[in-house]
Amino acid sequence: MLARFDIGPDEAAPGRGDGHDAQWAAGVRLMIADPALQGELQKAEIAAQTALAEAIAERTGTAAGDVGPHLLAAAVNTAITVASDRWANADPPVPLATLLRDVLHRLEHGLPVP
């Protein structure tokens, strides 16, 4: 599954050399914490998830109303949210691409039983 997604290399942010832009992460944390922006962020996530579900249905030849594409899109959306949260709060910094690869790998291979 990961081969189908081009996440890109763990490129270093300008001036830091560690793939983590502290100012950008601080801005993300600020947006996530702002109640006025939370609704807008949720709208954007829902729109992205809907578009992903449509693309999955189209590529797999599945009916648009089938639960499978929507379930997979929701799982990927949640994985991206988890990776983004970990990236924004990582100490020491970790490249977002590394975290995205990790969460998508876990989805691809199944989560361990807690």
Q: Please count the structural domains in the chain.
A: 1
Q: What is the mean pLDDT of the chain?
A: 83
CA distance 85 to 94: 11
Residue 50 lies in a domain: yes
Q: How many CA atoms lie within 13 A of 97 on its CB side?
A: 12
Residue 23 lies in a domain: no
Residue 96 lies in a domain: yes
- Minimum mean pLDDT range among 2-11, 27-36, 51-60, 84-93: 2-11
Residue 44 lies in a domain: yes
CA dist 72 → 30, 36, 50, 59 (Å): 29, 29, 11, 13
Residue 65 lies in a domain: yes
Residue 4 lies in a domain: no
* Residue range of the domain that includes 68: 39-114
- pLDDT tens digits, 61-100: 999 789 999 999 999 999 999 999 999 888 888 888 999 9
